Amino acid sequence: MDAISATPAVPGRSLFRLANPGRFMRLSGRVLPVLIALGLGFTAVGLVWGMFFSPADWQQGDAVRIMYVHVPAAWVSSAGYVGLAACSAISLIWRHPLADLAAVEIGPVGAGATAICLITGSLWGEPMWGTWWVWDARLTSVLVLFFLYLGHMALVRAFDEPERGYRAGAILALIGAVDLPIIKFSVDWWNTLHQPDTITVTGAPTMYVGMLWPLLFAALGFSFGFGAIVTARLRAAVMERRLRGLLLARAEESLAS
């Protein structure tokens, strides 16, 4: 039987309760439709509001509307990497089998979000800065994040023994987490063409409220959407692993008889 099916649930430890695939599938089956609905709803409201009903910027004109896809994609790409690093830590410390699978499934989706961030940033930079790309600290550190995602995707698939791939990928993901504070503080630590943060956790936002609300709606929508895609992929991965386990068991039975 495969590792994920054989993992016993440890009572009283909520993290390990999800190691039981049946429990995870039941729980995720209930959560997934909610995530899809929230993701679609918030994204639709945020993007329509941002595209048609929010004001243009006095300096940037309508190009500021790119913000409603660029900024949520940037937040989600960093948050996704936090998730990847957390799964990697759980995988290395507790050998949690679902954490391995979650890390594998977060990688491509995070890379996709980072690609959206980089491409839309480039499309915003050309009319505003007069260039598609500059090697400033913010842009370069986000490009490094994109390569970290790609590196993780390649590494977890590079070994014949999946467990070795998961370990190597987890180590890379944890080392790569050092890029996250660099992304966050790059606009403060260095002189960058990229503007400083207009929304911070501690301070009041320096953005007009008519732009802030659609941005927050879009960011919530992207976050729920990211969660929905990862959950759907993870459910598929658990089913695929269960299927492989069943087929292997049948093959062994038929060989033995």
Partner 1 sequence: MTNLPYIVASYAVTLVIAGGFSLGAWIRLKHARRQLAAVDPRGRWQ
Q: Does 225 bind partner 1 (CB under 8 A)?
A: yes
**Residue 202 Cβ vs partner 1, minimum distance, rounded to whole Å:** 29
- Span 93-132, contacts to partner 1 by CB under 8 A: 108-109, 112, 115-116, 119-120, 123-124, 126-127
Q: Is the CB of residue 79 less than 8 Å from the CB of residue 223? A: yes
**Residue 60 Cβ vs partner 1, minimum distance, rounded to whole Å:** 8
Q: Is the CB of residue 133 less than 8 Å from the CB of residue 122? A: yes
Q: Does 80 bind partner 1 (CB under 8 A)?
A: no
The helix/strand/coil state of 57 is: strand
Q: Does 163 bind partner 1 (CB under 8 A)?
A: no
Within 10 angstroms of residue 86's Cβ, the number of other Cβ atoms is 17
Pairwise CA distance, residues 217 & 72, whole Å: 9
Among 4, 19, 20, 21, the residue binding partner 1 under the rule CB under 8 A is 21
Q: Which is nearer to partner 1, 62 or 188 (CB)?
A: 62
Q: Is the CB of residue 5 less than 8 Å from the CB of residue 24? A: no
Q: Does 233 bind partner 1 (CB under 8 A)?
A: yes
Instruction: Report CA-CA distances (Å) from 193 to 61, 134, 136, 138.
Output: 18, 8, 7, 9
Alpha helices in 95-178 (DSSP H): 97-129, 137-156, 162-176
Pairwise CA distance, residues 156 & 255, whole Å: 31
Convert residues 38-77 into a mask of x (bound to partner 1 by CB under 8 A) and - (unbound).
---------x---x----x----xxx-xx--xx--x----
Q: Which is nearer to partner 1, 61 or 181 (CB)?
A: 61
**Which positions lie near partner 1, rule CB under 8 A?**
21-22, 25, 47, 51, 56, 61-63, 65-66, 69-70, 73, 108-109, 112, 115-116, 119-120, 123-124, 126-127, 225, 228-229, 232-233, 235-236, 238-240, 242-243, 246-247
